[in-house]
Structure 1
Amino acid sequence: MFRITKEFHFSASHQLTSLPPDHQCARLHGHNYIVEVELSGKELNEHGFVRDYHDLAPLKRYIDDKFDHRHLNDVLGHEKVTAECLARHFYEWCKARLPETTAVRVSETPKTWAECRP
């Protein structure tokens, strides 16, 4: 099995309004997010790739256009905008366009990651 990954970065705000009002994450706040996409394949294509990294350019445009410097509750249209929910969202977006997608990880801080790996 071969695996490749690529990182994408964006900054955005969110608010976890389902938490108690005294919880720090219930307040409006922001993060410098990292999205890491993993693609896998048993075989390499005719060029020796799992997938050409250039094929991930639409994901960068999607992140830049829809997520960077936005309020994620508005973007996703719900109150539970956690790293886990973002990982699932980006996994589903990628899987629909890049069938080799096997996982997406999202980081809100340098020490925390959430992963969607169905």
Structure 2
Amino acid sequence: MSHLPTDLKYTDAHLWVRPEEDGTVTLGLTDHVQQALGTIYSLDAPSVGEHLDVGDECIAVEAEQTNIDIFSPISGDIIECNEDLADSPTLINADPYDDGWIIQVRPDDISELDDLMDVHDYQELIEEEQE
């Protein structure tokens, strides 16, 4: 099984969400999904200053095995994008939880994180998908 940090929240679309001390949240793809996708060739993410609502398409990923669209699990303004991914999208493959983060959001309502899965629920989702 892939590595799963216990301090993150997770979505059923295999996105991880890390609440930061300053009230922002960082989003990225889980180790599980990057393994399933294979080598990531490119991704398209929103720009700094854009506003997301829950359910908005926020990340499009082109990878070796398939292309996927990821939808935002939280509403808020994009305050930072990982510019290193433009030249090296495989950072997601190499280090999905640190160097491979994708965007940082200033949430409108931090309580939206309560609707996301904890590590145990996410592990159950992975196990169900593998059956």
The two structures have a TM-score, normalised by structure 1, of: 0.30
Hey, which of these two has a bigger chunk of helix by percent?
Answer: 1
TM-score by length of 2: 0.28
Question: Which protein is bigger by CA-based radius of gyration?
Answer: 1
